[in-house]
Structure 1
Amino acid sequence: MDKKTVSYIFVIAIHLGIALAVFVLPFLSKLYAFLIPIVGGFLVYRTKNRNNEVILVSAYLVGAEVFLRMTGGNLNNEYIKLCVIVFMLIGMTYSGFSAKAIVFFLFLLLLIPSVLITTATDDYSTNVKKVLVFNLSGPLCLAICAIYTFQRKITFLELQYILMAIGFPILTTTIYLFLYNPSVRDVVTGTQSNFETSGGFGPNQVSTILGLGMFVFFTQFILYSKTKILMIINGLIVLFVSYRAIVTFSRGGVITGVGMIILLLIVLYFYSSVKIRGKFFVVFLLTGLMGLAIWTYTSMQTSGLIEKRYANQDAAGRTKKDRLGGREAIMDIELKTFFENPVLGIGAGMGKQVRKDNFGVNVASHNEMTRMLSEHGLFGIFDLLILLITPLLLFFNNRQHLYLFSFYVFWLLTINHAAMRIAAPAFVYALALLSIESKSSETKKKVNVALD
């Protein structure tokens, strides 16, 4: 084995060890949470961010967030977002940012009117600081990350290193889930989202990060498995992460991960030569067989309940009235609220209180798009348009960014089922804004070599 293969396997082994250590000694999770930004900060300081180390450190933090939260390592729910924001600001200090990123300064300015409405509330039962932090930490993290990454030039290999920085702690998460609940069959009794198979943490967020992990290791499997041993290792990791994602019984993250993979395959097919396209049948067949194997095994382990979950049925096989676990009702309320307050909205973070007072529904929104409408009004529409259009416009001059559409769809689908509770959608959206340094012909050549 060459040195790169040995190093890769060694890093995987370290992250397997982290999962085992934290499972045996839970207090190590807090030490892990402290060490990541400390070691990362030292790395950035030593290199003066010459190779965009802040992105690598932030990527690792994003990948580790759910693991830290489920094991009690986080100082608070916004810890990782705050760390990412700080590292991005440090990166700007060392490396500056594009003047064209002004569009995301505009995005931030458009948030201010709703913030002013919230701060002016006379409802003393509302903790203004808490609701603002909870609802705006995600958009703020996205904007700061986007300002730093906007048209920042990196190579495709450097982008893959960033993905692996996300992926390694996701592998740790997956191993921890197995240690926490080795027997899925014993704890699955219905078709609702399952906390036992999600490490005792929110299945929606676990599913989201594992869905991202599915994509990360699939890219490693299909593009960077140069030897048989790497192909076996990466293939097994894809299967394992996908299996644990599915058995959370939270569909959003799995569907998102599958969507990202499908988009990647379409892009790779487009970039491959006529000769390689002829071999693409094997790629599609192998991917399909892997998916079938995962699904069949999961169905056996859950006694067929997973099939009922995705068919929107309960354990008895009866079709459920709602398809989104009650989220439709919240979305309807948010849309009604928007039409009643179309210009300024009801104020950032005030949606939950308004729903409680007027509709008797005391639950936070899972949909960032309808939340932006109800709480930010017309300004929210402008902000959403900025987010929706900008990556697509950049694509015309950045066609060599093979992952752009996959990153874009991860952000778009995630904010529609899990809002921005974790930093992943904000950070991955920003990765779609990076400029990949290579000509289109060079990118096609790399794809052909990888797939040959």
Structure 2
Amino acid sequence: MFEKQAHNIFFFIAHAVLAYLSVQSSTVGLVWGTAILGIGVIHIIRSGNENNEAAYYAAYWMGLEIVLRMNGGSLSYESGKYGIIIFLLCGLIFEHRAFRLPRKFLLFFLLLLPATTVVEFESFGEARKDMLFNISGPLSLIFSALYFYRRTFTKEQVNKILYFILLPVFSLGIVLFFKTPEIAEIEFTLNSSAKLSGGFGANQVSTILGLGIFIMGFAIFLKFQITGYRLLDIALFAYFSFRGLLTFSRGGVVTAIVALALSLIVYAIVSNDGRLVRQIIVTSFFIGIAGFFAWDYTNNVTGGFLQKRYANESSNPFKKRDITTGRLTIILSELKAFQEYPVLGAGLGMGKKYREERNIHFRASHTEFSRLLAEHGLYGLMALLILLFSPVAHYFWSNEQSKPYVVAFAVLGLMTMLHAAMRLSMPGFMYGLIFISVIPSKDDSVHREQT
């Protein structure tokens, strides 16, 4: 037990050091990312993916994506999605086991192709850039779903995936510590804060910090330790909550809370174990206290602006604030595009141009669901139905051990697509995790026999 705790603490310290060095030099981030990509591919090929190494490397790479973007260490802006595809594809190709190809995800991919035939751009380079930007997210989702579809994992292995995600998320927390100015120097407003997001997009930073909040909360509730020490886990939960709230971007934090609450409710229902329900209630009390202090402290240091932000208050008492911060305007424009181009859509990546021509201030789509309709038309609608109903079907197919994870990953993936589209690889990867089949760990079996 002590060896495992020391092992975990060592890796967290190493990731704190790497985070600090990557802030000082973009070369460190570039070497970090390149090394993980190269070592990962070699390891997967040499091991034949015998122990699902591809899943662990892809999970780590997904968590690392935003750290590399923030510090100039990315091989390309979309390398987070490409990296996941490379890892999982290597796993599928080189593992020594039969591969099941779910037809619905093959169909999902085929439904995205017709929209490429109606793309209109001034140059090939511009067309290639915008098309890759919009197709890389769905492609990473498809490969993630293909890899994890009904693949069996023990609880311990799923927790290991969450651990590998969290290590670079912890690095993000350290990066923010060094890259954000003193709170006293910030003049707070009712808008999301790029300064307190390390100079990067607050929505993306909030999304990944929200993932950290969920993982730490889930670990604390289900009593599997991330750092090796329960108090440190609670401290990390509070720190991620503090940093997530400071971004003033609500999507990631709200998504984490909903995912955690729903997964625990399902966990209590399917377990039919009174002792477990009592454990969740008691743990909720301590988590609630940690969350309350994180909220109260953050609200105080922001001069009460945090509460106003989440209450959707406006600086102008006579003008109602848009709670969607422009997303509704984008959604309505995309529904309008769907009406105008109902069959093939406006074209892959053409949503931005569509809004520019109509002088709509908001350019990039923030919601993957309406983007599919606008840019892919009727084919996008069919793809959307596959996207939404596949998790529902899998929930009813899955065993009791899997259901809490299915709910958690579905909320994390789909809610992120709702407020942040697929700018990050995170929603596509989490969506794929919905389809795993979870079986009890050996420790669970021993525990049941003892009780």
- TM-score, normalisation: structure 1: 0.93
State the AA in 1 paired with 2:430. V
1:229 deviates by 6.7
State the AA in 2 paired with 1:404. V
User: What is the CA–CA distance in structure 2 between the aligned matches of 1:246 and 1:97, rounded to whole Å?
Assistant: 45
User: What is the CA–CA distance in structure 2 between the aligned matches of 1:238 and 1:15, rounded to whole Å?
Assistant: 17
2:114 aligned with 1:113: yes
1:71 deviates by 0.6
User: What is the CA–CA distance in structure 1 between the aligned matches of 2:395 and 2:444, rounded to whole Å?
Assistant: 16
User: What is the CA–CA distance in structure 1 between the aligned matches of 2:214 and 2:138, rounded to whole Å?
Assistant: 24
State the AA in 2 paired with 1:288. G
- With 35-44 and 374-383 compared, the bigger mean Cα shift is at 35-44
Q: 1:443 to 1:374 in 2, by over 3 A?
A: farther
2:247 aligned with 1:248: yes
Aligned counterpart, 2:409 = 407
Aligned counterpart, 2:163 = 164
2:387 aligned with 1:387: yes
State the AA in 2 paired with 1:181. T
1:157 deviates by 0.7
- With 12-21 and 167-176 compared, the bigger mean Cα shift is at 12-21
2:49 aligned with 1:49: yes
User: What is the CA–CA distance in structure 2 between the aligned matches of 1:126 and 1:324, rounded to whole Å?
Assistant: 33
User: What is the CA–CA distance in structure 2 between the aligned matches of 1:357 and 1:427, rounded to whole Å?
Assistant: 33
2:301 aligned with 1:301: yes
How is 1:56-75 mapped onto 2 (pairs within 5 angstroms)? 56-75=56-75
User: What is the CA–CA distance in structure 2 between the aligned matches of 1:319 and 1:229, rounded to whole Å?
Assistant: 50
Q: 1:253 to 1:362 in 2, by over 3 A?
A: closer
1:245 deviates by 0.7
2:436 aligned with 1:437: no
1:174 deviates by 0.5
Contact 2:45 2:90 in 1 (8 A): no
- With 267-276 and 362-371 compared, the bigger mean Cα shift is at 267-276
User: What is the CA–CA distance in structure 2 between the aligned matches of 1:448 and 1:78, rounded to whole Å?
Assistant: 45
User: What is the CA–CA distance in structure 1 between the aligned matches of 2:249 and 2:304, rounded to whole Å?
Assistant: 15
- With 396-405 and 331-340 compared, the bigger mean Cα shift is at 396-405
2:287 aligned with 1:290: no
User: What is the CA–CA distance in structure 1 between the aligned matches of 2:204 and 2:98, rounded to whole Å?
Assistant: 31
Q: In structure 2, the residue corresponding to 1:185 is in which secondary structure? A: helix
State the AA in 2 paired with 1:203. A
Aligned counterpart, 2:430 = 428
Q: 1:445 to 1:260 in 2, by over 3 A?
A: farther
CA shift digits 1:376-424 (9 cap, x unpaired) = 1111111111111112211223231132111101111111111101100
Aligned counterpart, 1:217 = 216
State the AA in 2 paired with 1:141. S
2:267 aligned with 1:257: no
CA shift digits 1:109-147 (9 cap, x unpaired) = 0011111122xx375598211111011110011111111
User: What is the CA–CA distance in structure 2 between the aligned matches of 1:136 and 1:76, rounded to whole Å?
Assistant: 15
2:132 aligned with 1:133: yes
Aligned counterpart, 1:378 = 378
How is 1:170-319 mapped onto 2 (pairs within 5 angstroms)? 170-181=169-180, 183-225=182-224, 230-270=229-269, 271=271, 273-314=273-314
1:353 deviates by 0.6
Name structure 1 gaps, 5 residues minimum: none
1:24 deviates by 3.0
User: What is the CA–CA distance in structure 2 between the aligned matches of 1:321 and 1:446, rounded to whole Å?
Assistant: 55
User: What is the CA–CA distance in structure 2 between the aligned matches of 1:284 and 1:445, rounded to whole Å?
Assistant: 25
CA shift digits 1:201-240 (9 cap, x unpaired) = 1000000011011111222223245699711110101110
Name structure 2 gaps, 5 residues minimum: none
Q: 1:174 to 1:111 in 2, by over 3 A?
A: same
Q: 1:432 to 1:26 in 2, by over 3 A?
A: same
How many positions carry a matched residue from both structures? 446
- With 258-267 and 246-255 compared, the bigger mean Cα shift is at 258-267
Q: 1:68 to 1:446 in 2, by over 3 A?
A: farther
- With 86-95 and 391-400 compared, the bigger mean Cα shift is at 391-400
User: What is the CA–CA distance in structure 1 between the aligned matches of 2:291 and 2:446, rounded to whole Å?
Assistant: 26
User: What is the CA–CA distance in structure 2 between the aligned matches of 1:124 and 1:35, rounded to whole Å?
Assistant: 35
How is 1:328-407 mapped onto 2 (pairs within 5 angstroms)? 328-361=328-361, 363-399=363-399, 400-401=401-402, 402-407=404-409
Contact 1:111 1:380 in 2 (8 A): yes
The CA RMSD measured in Å over matched residues stands at 2.4
User: What is the CA–CA distance in structure 2 between the aligned matches of 1:27 and 1:58, rounded to whole Å?
Assistant: 22
Aligned counterpart, 2:100 = 99
Q: 1:311 to 1:294 in 2, by over 3 A?
A: same
Contact 1:190 1:314 in 2 (8 A): no
User: What is the CA–CA distance in structure 1 between the aligned matches of 2:316 and 2:354, rounded to whole Å?
Assistant: 36
1:44 deviates by 1.1
Q: 1:287 to 1:48 in 2, by over 3 A?
A: same
